[in-house]
Amino acid sequence: MQSLVDHLKQGNLEAFNAIYAEYHQRLYFFIKKKTHSVFLAEEVVQLTFIKLWNCKTILRSHIDISVQLFHMAKQVLIDQLRKEQVRSKYEGDSAETPFTDNLIRMIEAKDLMRIFDEELSDMPAMRKLIFTLSREKGMSHKEISEMMGVSIKTVEAHITKVLSRLRQYMYSVLF
């Protein structure tokens, strides 16, 4: 049985309409909650569905449509906020700019932290613990090595592997 994504990839308008009916309202409230703007929520949702249709051939069948759709919506929102920021700058309306800057940074940071947490959860327990002690608890490599009874080189190796994996993941997402 073909998935809804597969049908959409083939240009099936009924599949698109089914996705629209299922996710339109959810996307609207998701964006409205983040921006507190009815206008921006309506605009972003419509642009997201246009982007979905225009990018239908590059959708991934093995990734749930909701994940792909909400990712598109976040990107469209960030694009719209940046456009608004530029518009405000050239019209001399600088009161909106700090809010827009902060909102963009908050959205991007939350997404990045969620991705890092997911990647970290797939790593061996000792590596997760060492990285958590180092980055979240602020412990030095020496303190961690003494606490865990391993060499400083082992601590450094685990942290290097975590950072390498996170960099590799970010590179695959961005490029």
Give per-residue pLDDT as tens, 111-134: 666 667 777 788 888 988 888 888
Same domain, 113 and 161: no
- Mean of all residue pLDDT scores within the chain: 81
CA distance readout (Å), 138 to 128, 153, 170: 14, 18, 23
Task: Domain of residue 159: give its range.
Answer: 123-175
Q: Which of 84, 100, 117 is the last residue of a domain?
A: 117
pTM above 0.85, yes or no: no
Same domain, 68 and 109: yes
Tell me if 7 sits within 8 A of 15, measured CB to CB: yes
Q: Which of 79, 97, 117 is the last residue of a domain?
A: 117
Task: Choose between 17 and 170: higher pLDDT.
Answer: 17
Same domain, 65 and 135: no
Same domain, 79 and 153: no
- Looking up tokens 């980055």, which residue turns up? 135
The pLDDT value recorded for residue 150 is: 92
pLDDT tens per residue, range 46-62: 999 999 999 898 888 88
170 band by pLDDT with thresholds 50, 70 and 90 = low
Query: Around Cβ 133, how many Cβ atoms within 10 Å?
Result: 19
Give dist(CA 49, CA 55) in Å, integer. Answer: 10
Q: What is the CATH number of the domain that holds 54?
A: 1.10.1740.10
Same domain, 96 and 130: no
Domains of the chain: total: 2
- For residue 151, count CB atoms less than 10 angstroms from its CB and return exposed for 0-12, middle for 13-18, buried for 19 or more: exposed
Angle at 174 between CA 121 and CA 40, to 5 degrees: 95
Same domain, 86 and 160: no
Same domain, 145 and 60: no
Q: Which of 102, 117, 132 is the last residue of a domain?
A: 117
DSSP 96-157: HHHHHHHHHHHHHHHHHHHHHHHHHHTS-HHHHHHHHHHHTS---HHHHHHHHT--HHHHHH
Same domain, 76 and 139: no
The pLDDT value recorded for residue 79 is: 83
